Amino acid sequence: MPASQPRSRARDRNNVLNRAEFLSLNQPLKGSQEGRSSSRKQSGQAGAAGGQGSGPKERRQSQQLPEEDCMQLNPSFKGIAFNSLLAIDICMSKRLGVCASRASSWGGARSMINLLGITGHGIPWIAGTLICLVKSSTLAGQEVLMNLLLALLLDIMIVAGLQKLAKRKGPYDITPGLLDYLTMDTYAFPAGHASRVAMLSKFFLNHLVLAIPLRVLLVLWALCVGLSRVMIGRHHITDVLSGFAFGYLQFRLVELIWMSSNTCQMLISIW
């Protein structure tokens, strides 16, 4: 055994890898090991402290954030199509808002566009219907006017409820007028003027005997009122189109719940 120890020592001395210049290849430096171990310990302590300090809600949020990022980076086809259509709607509505302010390209025609919009307000139509109802002396006329009054009241309530649910603002920051506040037409979707003129035009075309020129003028009036709401900067194009659709549905609803002549006479007598 004593003779074998000197032989092993001699072999270690003769080994080239045991020289000082080759020690770094065989063994890692002590400083790097200590630095790595200390950094691991610090990260482990920080992770433990963060785990103790953060509650379950923060852990859930940290786990959900990567999923949300992935959903935003990889949207679905429906989301891309909807956002694209929404961007086109906003861009086209802003371009058509030529009377949104006095400084706009058609700012001089703003007062005339506002006057055209007043013809689609609910308050003047309700007031005019009541005046005609008081002066009417025929049963058929009173029946039509009572159902028209019902249609106008339903239009105001339905549009106001839908606007409160959607709470969509117009393409421009336009303050609603006094008549808009009275009819609760303060948001953009759907356009109250568009739904009202669509319902009125359909109502008159069905229940009044009108010549063909008057029918054409009635339809053009409804289209011009809807376009004026986009030009004034109060509504988007989709708001007006949806208003036309809701106006037609309201007309169908009034047709379903049409009040007979006896019911109208009873309501008029109570009033």
Dump the DSSP string for 195-246.
HHHHHHHHHHHHHS---HHHHHHHHHHHHHHHHHHHHTTSS-HHHHHHHHHH
Please state which of the ranges 43-47, 164-168, 255-259 shows the lowest mean pLDDT: 43-47
Render pLDDT for 211-237 as a digit per residue (tens, 0 to 9). 999 999 999 999 999 999 999 988 999
Quote the mean pLDDT of the chain. Answer: 79
Q: What is the pLDDT of residue 238?
A: 94
Phi-psi region of 233 (alpha: psi -120 to 50; beta: other; left: phi over 0): left
Phi-psi region of 99 (alpha: psi -120 to 50; beta: other; left: phi over 0): alpha
Tokens standing for residue 197: 């003129």
Q: Which residue has the tokens 């785990």?
A: 51
Q: Which residues contact 101 (CB under 8 A, 6 or more apart)?
A: 107, 110, 172, 233
Phi-psi region of 167 (alpha: psi -120 to 50; beta: other; left: phi over 0): left
Report CA-CA distances (Å) from 185 to 118, 120, 194. Answer: 13, 12, 11
Q: Is the pLDDT of residue 70 over 50?
A: no
Rounded-to-integer distance, Cα 110 and Cα 106, Å? 7
Give the phi and the psi of residue 186 in degrees, each rounded to 5: -105, -15
Q: Is the pLDDT of residue 62 over 80?
A: no
Render pLDDT for 111-151 as a digit per residue (tens, 0 to 9). 899 899 889 998 999 999 999 998 988 898 899 999 999 99
Q: What is the pLDDT of residue 25?
A: 46
Answer yes or no: are the C-beta atoms of 225 and 119 closer than 8 Å.
yes
Q: What is the percent of the chain where pLDDT is above 90?
A: 38
Give the phi and the psi of residue 201 in degrees, each rounded to 5: -65, -40
DSSP state of 101: S
CA atoms within 13 A on the CB side of 68: 6
Q: What is the pTM of this model?
A: 0.69
DSSP state of 3: T
Q: What is the pLDDT of residue 72?
A: 52
Render pLDDT for 12-28 as a digit per residue (tens, 0 to 9). 555 545 555 445 444 55
Catalytic residue set:
193, 235
Rounded-to-integer distance, Cα 190 and Cα 241, Å? 8
Rounded-to-integer distance, Cα 125 and Cα 129, Å? 6
